[in-house]
Structure 1
Amino acid sequence: MRPQTGWLGRLLRNATKGPAEAPHESDVPTPVTTERIAAFLTRRGYRFRIDDDGDITGTWEGHRFWFLLLGPHGTLLQVRGRWARTVGGDERLGVLQAANDWNRDRIWPKVYLREEDGGLGVYGEVSVDLEHGATDDQLGQVVSCGLGTGVQLFSALSALLPGQEDLPEE
């Protein structure tokens, strides 16, 4: 009989091993907190601040992002970004179509428009329920996914609507 390779081989080899070792401390899910999110961003060398609501916020590629812990127990992590441009009324239909196309073709981020003073704001969100906590790697993956896919979305929109004025930096 040939030796098994790939996932089946790993499964069979692991099934014949002795008792599992205790997980390393960093492999154990722990509650997600603002401090853990800030620590991840700091390790990556990102600049951010804590706003008046106690939320982490910063600018990536010129776009504002927030890292929010939502829900009754603060266990829903949401990485929310706002496109640095405001959409005028005459471009509403085109941006709505682009948002629908994005939401149909991709999982992240969810895209929506919101009426704001002087136009429409375009937002992208990645939300994950972390009720049972997260390892450092899992937390980093959610934060990186929110930032990476948000920046991709905003770059795609910028290519569709060149020449718009950017929002002023805070």
Structure 2
Amino acid sequence: MSPALGGGGAGRWLARLLNPRPPAARRTSGTQTRTLGSIPIEKPRPLTTQRVGDDLSRRGYRFRIDDDGDVTGTWDGNRFWFLLLGEHDEILQVRGRWAGALPAAARLAVLQAANDWNRERIWPKVYTREEGAGLALYAEVSVDFEHGATEEQLAQTVSCGLVTASQFFSTVASLAPPPDEPLPDDPSPDEK
């Protein structure tokens, strides 16, 4: 498994995903807060590309802003985008594209695997698209933050998108035939 964008092994980037800031940093983050008794409660704020970038930076990740103004980067070789969608950029979508590719002949098997995944899990939504001569696999986690998001909600959504998509991509990679190996239903090169 390749290191996560920003250095470090897969274990370190996963640890940063699951706990992006130490508990003390969460309580003293300097964001707008109100209190419930003596417990500070952070007020949700509108999503922005800057907030998404700040969350990734706190985790030590490198990323860039693409030509469309979206945050993007790679984790374990897979491309991810952090998109703000909706009329008021109130929906955060973490979209990943598997670095591998599958032949178009595998379409039925891939659709069945995606359907099984979607039926058995809440996140991520997975699907395939024809790209070039093969099939590309995508995974998406989308959350509507119409009333804004706290730093913790933002961090959890980013973590959920990266972790669950990476789990799907890892599962697919372990089941996919090597690029030079024909699929079981394909005739071998000698039989053509």
Instruction: Confirm or deny a common fold (TM above 0.5).
Output: yes
What count of residue pairs does the alignment treat as equivalent?
146
User: Aligned residue for 2:112?
Assistant: 97
Structure 2: which 5+ residue stretches go unaligned? 1-34, 181-192
Cα displacement (A) at 1:23: 6.3
1:20 and 2:36 are equivalent in the alignment: yes
List 4+ stretches of structure 1 deviating above 4 A: none
**Is 1:123 equivalent to 2:138 in the alignment?**
yes
| Structure 2 Cα separation of the partners of residues 74 and 22 of structure 1 | 33
Contact 1:85 1:164 in 2 (8 A): no
- What 5-or-longer segments of structure 1 have no aligned partner? 1-18, 166-170
SS in 2 for 1:84: coil
Q: Alignment identity in percent?
A: 62
User: Which amino acid letter does the alignment assign opposite residue 143 of structure 1?
Assistant: V
> What is the TM-score of this pair, normalised by structure 2?
0.72
Once residues 20 and 71 of structure 1 are traced to their aligned partners in structure 2, the CA distance between those partners, rounded to angstroms, is 32
Q: Deviations over 1:114-159 (max 9, x none)?
A: 1212211110000000010011000000000000000000000001
- Is the CA contact 1:86–1:121 (under 8 Å) kept in the aligned structure 2? yes
Point out which structure has higher relative CO (alpha carbons under 8 A, 6+ apart). 1
State how 1:1-170 maps to structure 2 within 5 Å.
20-21=36-37, 24=40, 27-164=42-179
TM-score, length-scaled by structure 1: 0.81
Computing the radius of gyration over CA atoms, which structure comes out larger, 1 or 2?
A: 1
Q: Is the Cα contact below 8 Å between 2:83 and 2:93 reproduced in 1?
A: yes
Distance in 1, Cα, partners of 2:38 & 2:144: 26
| Alignment check: 8 A CA contact 2:104 2:130 kept | no
- Which residue number corresponds to residue 15 of structure 1? none
CA RMSD of aligned residues (A): 1.7
